Copies of this chain bind each other. A is one copy, B any other.
Amino acid sequence: MTIEGRNGNHDRPIRLGMVGGGKDAFIGAVHRIAARLDGCFELVAGALSSTPEKAVESGQALGLAEDRIYSSFEDMAKREARLKNGIEAVAIVTPNHVHYPAAKAFLKRGIHVICDKPLTSTLADARKLAKVVGESSALFFLTHNYTGYPMVRQARELVASGAIGKVRLVQVEYVQDWLTVEQHNKQAEWRTDPKRSGLGGATGDIGTHAYNLACFVSGLAAESLAADLQSFVPGRQVDDNGHVLLRFEGGARGMLWCSQVAPGNENALKLRVYGEKGGLEWHQENPNYLHVSPFGEPTRIITRGGAGMSAGVAPTTRIPAGHPEGYLEGFANIYKEAAGVIRAHRGGDGLASLVPGIEEGLAGVQFVDACVRSSSRNAAWVKM
């Protein structure tokens, strides 16, 4: 074991701000733990809620200094950019429709952005944001956190190395059940409101993760898709189930299923990739194992930290095999790697990393847009 988090780097933690993530939020706390886990970031400012009282209350609960608690991200961006020790990066963990304006406010002022997915609530916003990122001196990261799991990295490396041969099939599914009936909590409300969530429901919220994961591991992008989206719960304005056929560049085919109305499934993200020489399978809910099946040989169980794991994957694990890592550790890998890129950037250097960014974000919104377009035309094939 090395000293965790710092990678032998004596650098001080990166000063981080946060937009969204106040009381009753879910993903904000996840980002904070992920940022803190390896000691690479220090949360020093926040516009944690658009409701001023809640913003203050939440900032105090997190121990922020009074004068670094903001009730608008605009104010935060302006003031922090001028402070001598202002934030160097900001985590954006708001509902989707705020991603674009918030990210823009910080990127224009040279503050790095770590943004939750999907990139934006509309394709128009996504394209505008891509333009902003291209013109900014600051960095942009998107937390498609499932790519941070060590065994997902292992799967990607195996495919890239040719271990399973040319890819033929990519089967991915991301299945939940929490929206099986109408829900009235805060999470359900904005995630099923097309104004805040975007046109996609399940497709946007979890389908984008599934699509990103499929591409990340297979190394392929879809050229076209055919989607049959449903809203099973009466009155729901966005899809709560999506059945999608995929055609990838180079001839591979795939299926993607995303659902939030499948009782018994909590957060069942599962990927299977098959090539001419072998197959592999990974389940997010028991993420420390990767099943690899060379054709004609017994299936092998590669374990995180154990025999069969590649050297290149090792930096993404913290503890020995058999001591399970989970969702937060995978998420923290995104933050740790983003920290490495930010630190290199300080010195004027670029650093290759696997952290998703604007391209993956744009691809995700294009995926949702294509699903909605296809479904509105009776699941006709549409170009991505």
Shortest beta-carbon distance from A173 to chain B in Å: 8
**Choice from B10, B232, B278 contacting A264 with Cβ under 8 Å:** B278
Shortest beta-carbon distance from A326 to chain B in Å: 4
Q: Check B326–A324 contact: CB distance below 8 A.
A: yes
Known: A319-B30, A329-B326, A381-B379. A279 touches B298 (CB 8 A): no
**Choice from B37, B245, B319 contacting A379 with Cβ under 8 Å:** B245
Shortest beta-carbon distance from A330 to chain B in Å: 9
The stretch from A104-112, A130-138, A300-308, A356-364 touching chain B is A300-308
Return chain B residues, CB-CB under 8 Å to A1.
24-26, 29
Q: Check A177–B266 contact: CB distance below 8 A.
A: no
Task: Please report whether the interface of chain A is mostly helix, strand, loop or mixed according to DSSP.
Answer: loop
Question: 1/0 contact trace for A305-341 toward B, CB 8 Å?
Answer: 1111000000000111111111111000000000000
Within 8 A of B (CB), among A48-69: 58, 60-63
Q: Check B61–A169 contact: CB distance below 8 A.
A: no
Q: Check B39–A39 contact: CB distance below 8 A.
A: no
Q: Check A299–B301 contact: CB distance below 8 A.
A: yes
A373 interfacial contact with B, CB 8 Å:
no
A72 interfacial contact with B, CB 8 Å:
no
Q: Check A171–B257 contact: CB distance below 8 A.
A: yes
Using a CB–CB cutoff of 8 Å, the interface residues on chain A facing chain B are 1-4, 6, 8, 10, 12-13, 22-26, 29-30, 32-33, 36-39, 58, 60-63, 164, 168-169, 171, 176-177, 180-181, 226, 228, 230, 232, 241, 243, 245, 247, 253-255, 257, 259, 261-268, 272, 274-281, 284-288, 291-303, 305-308, 318-329, 378-379, 381
